[in-house]
Amino acid sequence: MLSRCRHRLLLVLGLSFPPPSRGLPLLCNRRLMKPLVVFVLGGPGAGKGTQCARIVEEMDQTMAANAQKNKFLIDGFPRNQDNLQGWNKTMDGKADVSFVLFFDCNNEICIERCLERGKSSGRSDDNRESLEKRIQTYLQSTKPIIDLYEEMGKVKKIDASKSVDEVSVLSLQIKVK
């Protein structure tokens, strides 16, 4: 399962898998901090992609101001136990998971948003039947991962049923450290 997510991880982290034995490209200078990672989770249509795009603009500015702040968002990962085990096995000691940013949104709102997105996204899975299955998969496989991080005190939850701008304001108040 991790390999299926490899491309996405590569894009977000800018890393190669498996990481080269001499260290991550980001860490060629040993004095640099380990990358700080935020897992971004929530149901399909909760607004993960929308908010990540906005947060990244802010993070880019932060990183430009201080090259040692290596912060990364991973959108929609880990989705299940298999993803999490793959992450732990591959990334142990190479990156610190700061917290899970949880976009908490009512299932029906999620479905309605995806149906709306489907009108222009071209995503074949943005239809009601497939969305109801994706919500079930989210509840059965992803929500337990969020609960696991919650038990560790590592979940920052945002009410994602609010408007895009309201959710953005809440998201941007959260500091990654």
Enumerate binding residues for Mg ion (CB under 5 A): 48-49
What is the rounded CA–CA span in Å between residue 73 and residue 12? 7
Beta bridge partners of 99: 38
Task: Say how many CA atoms lie within 13 Å of 104 toward its Cβ.
Answer: 9
Query: Which of the choices Mg ion, ligand ADP, none does residue 139 contact, using the CB cut-off of 5 to 8 A by kind?
Result: none
* One-letter amino acid of 78: P
Residues 6+ apart with CB under 8 A from 50: 164
Shorter beta-carbon distance to ligand ADP: residue 47 or 78: 47
Distance CA(104)–CA(82), nearest Å, equals: 22
Distance CA 109, CA 32 (A): 42
How far apart are CB 89 and ligand ADP at their closest, in Å? 26
User: What does the alpha-carbon distance between residue 58 and residue 60 come to, in Å, rounded to a whole number?
Assistant: 5
Closest approach, Cβ 89 to Mg ion, in A, equals 25
CB-count burial class (<10 Å; 0-12, 13-18, 19+) for 89 = exposed
**Which residue minimizes CB distance to ligand ADP?**
47
Residue 134 contact partner, candidates ligand ADP, Mg ion, none, CB within 5 to 8 A by sort of partner = none
Binding region for ligand ADP (CB under 6 A): 42, 44-50, 113-114, 116-117, 163-164, 167
**Least spacing, CB of residue 20 vs ligand ADP, in Å:** 31
Q: Which is nearer to ligand ADP, 75 or 99 (CB)?
A: 75
At its nearest, how many Å lie between Mg ion and the CB of residue 79?
11
Closer to Mg ion by Cβ: residue 27 or 114: 114
117 vs 143 by CB, closer to ligand ADP? 117
